[in-house]
């Protein structure tokens, strides 16, 4: 899952939401990190979601639909494709508009700017320029974002060419999201009852 899905799954708790954003930027064990406990829990939830999804057979089947050279980068592509699927279905999952959710996130990050690493700040400046994450409703914006990810990777990659395969995979993204997201929601609900120790089996 990419940022939008992680943020929605974190619920209304500000600490969990901050952890959802920090999850891709904080490495290693959390015990020594000088972060509020609720933020550490949010990072743990982010990691739990990623591990849970990676183990799902439906995700493995979706990755198998990619051909070289895109298969190596299928996880990145699927992450953003699922944020697109979530964005176009947003009203099914939230009573708050996507635009308001987006604005609330920016206010939360501004309030806690001191704990944000530099690379996350750069990401949010990019998001502000592009009108993300609400912009993920539009396939064109997802493709621009994927190309941007490709430019940040050190090795040559085909992420600037995803438009070549997107139309053919679009139905698989939609079906995959509809199969996988409810399982993730269930797993997160279990995790919320007993954080960090919920079943990984789904």
The pTM for the full model equals: 0.91
Coarse DSSP helix, strand, coil percentages of the chain, rounded to the nearest 5 percent: 70, 0, 30
pLDDT of residue 194: 76
pLDDT of residue 41: 93
Q: What is the CA radius of gyration of the chain?
A: 16
The whole-angstrom separation of Cα 96 and Cα 46 is 22
pLDDT of residue 195: 57
- One digit per residue, the tens of pLDDT, for the chain of length 202 reads 799 999 999 999 999 999 999 998 888 887 757 889 999 999 999 999 999 999 999 999 999 999 999 999 999 999 999 999 999 999 999 999 999 999 999 999 999 999 898 999 998 998 888 888 999 999 999 999 999 999 999 999 999 999 999 999 999 999 999 999 999 999 999 999 875 554 443 3
- Nearest Cα residue to 138 out of 191, 177, 193, 80: 80
């Amino acid at each position: 899952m990419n940022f939008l899905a992680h943020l929605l799954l974190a619920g209304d708790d500000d600490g969990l939401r901050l952890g959802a954003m920090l999850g891709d930027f904080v490495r290693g064990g959390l015990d020594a990190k000088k972060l509020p406990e609720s933020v550490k829990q949010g990072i743990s939830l982010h990691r739990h979601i990623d591990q849970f999804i990676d183990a799902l057979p439906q995700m493995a089947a979706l990755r198998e639909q990619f051909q070289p050279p895109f298969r190596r980068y299928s996880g990145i592509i699927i992450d953003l494709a699922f944020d697109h699927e979530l964005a176009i279905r947003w009203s099914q999952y939230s009573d708050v508009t996507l635009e308001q959710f987006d604005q609330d996130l920016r206010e939360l990050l501004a309030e806690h700017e001191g704990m944000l690493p530099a690379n996350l700040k750069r990401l949010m400046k990019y998001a502000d320029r592009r009108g993300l994450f609400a912009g993920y409703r539009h396939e064109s914006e997802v493709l621009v974002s994927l190309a941007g990810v490709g430019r940040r990777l050190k090795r040559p990659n085909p992420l600037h060419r995803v438009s070549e395969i997107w139309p053919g995979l679009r139905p698989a993204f939609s079906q995959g999201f509809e199969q996988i997201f409810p399982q993730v929601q269930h797993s997160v609900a279990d995790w919320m009852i007993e954080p960090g120790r919920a079943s990984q089996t789904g």
